[in-house]
Structure 1
């Protein structure tokens, strides 16, 4: 017995040593992997031109983060459609953050609804699920397509209109509508529209850079919901044609089930696939032979003539602090059916946009490049307004009915206690690449670029017809139009003192940022004394217009 024990001890020691060595090896490999990741990105980007290296490094690191995040999302998100569910701790944390800032959505708020080794499509959940304050845009969704160099997005159609802005790269887009196929070359700055039901496919023809497209989807069938339908050649998910019964498929195509399975059956490459150099050249050739005219002369009403490049146009406002480019139905006829204006805002490093509000449009914005912050003035949150996500989610029907009654009573009671102009809540949010934010009608907003880089934002303004941008500061300040008596009564100061404040800023649209103008502010305060009080009154009046 003792001899057996003696023999067992060396065996246990050997086993323990083996386990310790294995654990050390795993830990070492993890440390090496963690140490190599930045080096891999550096080596991957070292052959790029110097002005592209920073962006290349950022994309490489973001791609690695997305790969790690994808492992955790695999069970929660499908290859198409939308998602539901309570989500993980990270999702609940993000929802809690969104409650405090119901108009701002960081990169983590996007969920991948299409995934492939060659790219992805990410989308925000419906706005009305994010906050009751966003019910006015319940029919709109935000999505972002990212496709690797020399990749191909297989033919599909959606049950929503897609208004797209090319944020980066170049490629070819083809649509088949009304029996006519049109192919166009697209590049950074282009806007194009793919109508609901039109067969569409794209290719990234650049051999080095990703193709990134930010898009607004205007849903039709179900408010805030859309679906992809992948047709011939659909690869994981399978083509919708394969969902018909085998007998119907054989009758429709007059061929065997085996051949139909080969064409329409499920494959493993995904819906964004790698294309050969020869295939890319062929797609590019079709685009060069297709319709060329992007916008001049203007096409007949109802006829689509392809993409429109914002960056090729003269900016509507431009100075050393920034530029504003705009397109609406008058400049780009494809927007005529969507009551939408698209703008590109480029704020110079250290500068800011002039405070303004829209009279009719709800602005949906997406940050393309740079960093900074935004401030949105909201009266709803100051009064304890509704900003909760999916209130009533998970309740029984009886509970929901009771909740609706209580909600109605709460709103009625709240309305009795609210007084106009009794306070505003400023939503201040950090902006970086991939951040989306919404500015409701009448809400004053300002965006400030950090001192390190320009801040570029693409804006989709919903319900743009007859909308007016009302500037609250700068050379085109609307408050300058008040007559003298109104200025004195509104600001409790002399007309001269009010004019000194309103006329001090000579720039228009884009202004020096807070850090740039700090010294001037101290100088004005030391010279007059009263303008500080006038400025406070000006802010109260501006936000209550």
Structure 2
């Protein structure tokens, strides 16, 4: 008897061990699949993303992997609950079976005892069997009821899980709304600075891509004045070819890295140029172009601005081959006087690899370079002719140069292709730990992209301060109205008495973009932590009548004020004002704040002013604004 009762328990124990082993193996397989997926995602980041976006891409892969692990563990918890319920059901079924067996054994013993009592015992035994069958049927009905109750509990559990999942979805939606609101609030606080993640993919293939910022008027209402302009970055892998095409926008680009061959077909004339780092490239809207990266090791990177024509802030890249293949077959036959078979072979899409940047063979690269050396050098500025496509900034004398940085510039006077767009292109190379002098432009909107290094920028903006004051003024007016006193005229007079400006501070690194509107003082500071200089390419729109006004350093505008004007403006004797304004004799680039804390402090102390002079200058400059 004891052996019979032990067999079901042993069976349950063996089943539990086999199930635990299967679950452990399944979890190990899931973990291996998750780690493999994470490695593939990180490898795609290293292979497909530019270097300045790889760290962020890898972090996104890790976040997705953590989310997947959380969902897996959450799902295992639900599966564990269901398995526990099934084990309980199985245990109840085994206990019912043992009870049935026990009743059967008791019935056998009673039957043996009643067998010796004759017919009366037989009749009593029959009645007991009938009663036993009735009891068993009743127990089975009760078991079916319990099973139905368990099924109802399962349905209720599924409903509760569905409610929890719905609550989780709603929570994710609320978190997404909070994130969007936080992003909008961050954009409102820094409407002129855009990180590398702000760029969106326009076209992409295995051998390169084009990315662009969204239209400026969509990024911030303060940038509606440049709604026709876009900023784009093209990156081409080594020994790759950009298929012939054109854009419906006038473009001006700067070759940030690498070298290649550019061919432009304009007004029926084809010209090929060798382009390399430092070249400024002009491309009118609609001109057919193709580009090849002739370097076997480095990528070709071009930063450009586009002045859109048909739709403000929107541009399209048209591929020549795709445009022809999009025409109807009968139009193709009539246009090219060729059979449908030959046209299908030439323009057909079947079996053809898609992508506007393709791999080129070494022989093809050499031939493209040979065409550029034959026909392009005579047009390459300043070696001869009137170039309309290229001008190398780094080969010219810098406009400003000292130990803290160099500034290279080109405008329509040196490069006539810029006259049509009224744009000046400049390249600033700021030594690590140094900074630009505070300045503002009178007419130009300055669009800049960081090419190398890291640092920070400061932009003084009156618009954000006015928005903040209007918001605070509205709250104050509502409070006054609720209290039943105060007036609108008092609030307006207080706003007029207090002129305030808000300073936008932001960290920048490779791939960051920033916009400085006219009249907004700005400073760029190169980080002293790294060994790389902060290198920035700038496109200044409305450059013809623009003037750059320096607020500090040699020839700064504040130093040109008359003596009475200085005393009335700064509230100090003119001699003290001059001591501060004339102390910095560098031009364009200065030692940065961290360098000033060291060597600069001894120079100030030698003049007898010390840190008080620095603080006094900052207060006076703020008062002058």
Residues of 1 paired with 2:59 and 2:283: CA distance?
Answer: 27
> How many angstroms does 1:61 deviate by?
3.6
1:484-510, CA deviations, whole angstroms, 9 ceiling, x for partnerless residues?
111111111111100110111111100
**Greater per-residue helix proportion:** 2
State the partner residue of 1:285.
Answer: 370
Could you say if the C-alpha distance between residues 13 and 432 of structure 1 is closer, same or farther in structure 2, counting changes exceeding 3 Å? same
Give yes or no for the alignment of 1:535 onto 2:614: no
State the partner residue of 2:209.
Answer: 120
Could you say if the C-alpha distance between residues 166 and 9 of structure 1 is closer, same or farther in structure 2, counting changes exceeding 3 Å? farther
Residues of 2 paired with 1:209 and 1:62: CA distance?
Answer: 20
State the partner residue of 2:426.
Answer: 343
Give yes or no for the alignment of 1:354 onto 2:437: yes
Mapping 1:460-499, distance limit 5 Å? 460-499=539-578
Mapping 1:3-18, distance limit 5 Å? 14=18, 17-18=21-22
> How many angstroms does 1:418 deviate by?
4.9
Could you say if the C-alpha distance between residues 107 and 415 of structure 1 is closer, same or farther in structure 2, counting changes exceeding 3 Å? farther
Q: Is the partner of 2:285 in helix, strand or coil?
A: coil
Could you say if the C-alpha distance between residues 60 and 357 of structure 1 is closer, same or farther in structure 2, counting changes exceeding 3 Å? closer
Indicate which of 519, 523, 526 corresponds to 1:449.
526
Residues of 1 paired with 2:401 and 2:183: CA distance?
Answer: 37
Residues of 2 paired with 1:371 and 1:270: CA distance?
Answer: 33
Q: Is the partner of 1:311 in helix, strand or coil?
A: coil
Could you say if the C-alpha distance between residues 473 and 155 of structure 1 is closer, same or farther in structure 2, counting changes exceeding 3 Å? same
State the partner residue of 1:153.
Answer: 242
Equivalent residues of 2:238, 2:296 under 8 A apart: yes
State the partner residue of 2:285.
Answer: 196
Q: Is the partner of 1:464 in helix, strand or coil?
A: coil
State the partner residue of 2:127.
Answer: none
Give yes or no for the alignment of 1:255 onto 2:338: yes
State the partner residue of 1:377.
Answer: 460
State the partner residue of 2:304.
Answer: 215
Of 463-472 and 282-291, the range deviating more from structure 2: 282-291
Residues of 2 paired with 1:458 and 1:21: CA distance?
Answer: 56
Give yes or no for the alignment of 1:271 onto 2:275: no
Work out which structure has the larger RCO, using CA pairs closer than 8 Å and 6 or more positions apart in sequence. 1
Rg comparison, structure with higher value:
2
Could you say if the C-alpha distance between residues 40 and 299 of structure 1 is closer, same or farther in structure 2, counting changes exceeding 3 Å? closer
Q: When the two structures are aligned, how many residues end up with a matched partner?
A: 483
Residues of 2 paired with 1:126 and 1:110: CA distance?
Answer: 11
Could you say if the C-alpha distance between residues 248 and 40 of structure 1 is closer, same or farther in structure 2, counting changes exceeding 3 Å? closer
Equivalent residues of 2:452, 2:536 under 8 A apart: yes
TM-score after normalising by structure 2: 0.70
Residues of 2 paired with 1:248 and 1:120: CA distance?
Answer: 32
CA RMSD, Structure 1 to Structure 2 (Å) = 3.7
Runs of 5+ unmatched residues, structure 1: 45-55, 72-87, 233-238, 388-412
1:356-389, CA deviations, whole angstroms, 9 ceiling, x for partnerless residues?
00010000000000000000000000111799xx
State the partner residue of 1:24.
Answer: 28
State the partner residue of 1:296.
Answer: 382
Could you say if the C-alpha distance between residues 126 and 265 of structure 1 is closer, same or farther in structure 2, counting changes exceeding 3 Å? farther
TM-score after normalising by structure 1: 0.80
> How many angstroms does 1:422 deviate by?
1.0
Residues of 2 paired with 1:447 and 1:129: CA distance?
Answer: 25
Indicate which of 423, 433, 439 corresponds to 2:516.
439
Residues of 1 paired with 2:513 and 2:385: CA distance?
Answer: 33
Could you say if the C-alpha distance between residues 244 and 532 of structure 1 is closer, same or farther in structure 2, counting changes exceeding 3 Å? same
Runs of 5+ unmatched residues, structure 2: 65-175, 471-489
Indicate which of 416, 428, 445 corresponds to 2:505.
428
Equivalent residues of 1:498, 1:531 under 8 A apart: no
Residues of 1 paired with 2:315 and 2:15: CA distance?
Answer: 62
Q: Is the partner of 2:225 in helix, strand or coil?
A: helix
State the partner residue of 2:328.
Answer: 245
Could you say if the C-alpha distance between residues 18 and 133 of structure 1 is closer, same or farther in structure 2, counting changes exceeding 3 Å? same
Equivalent residues of 1:106, 1:436 under 8 A apart: yes
1:72-103, CA deviations, whole angstroms, 9 ceiling, x for partnerless residues?
xxxxxxxxxxxxxxxx8877764443222100
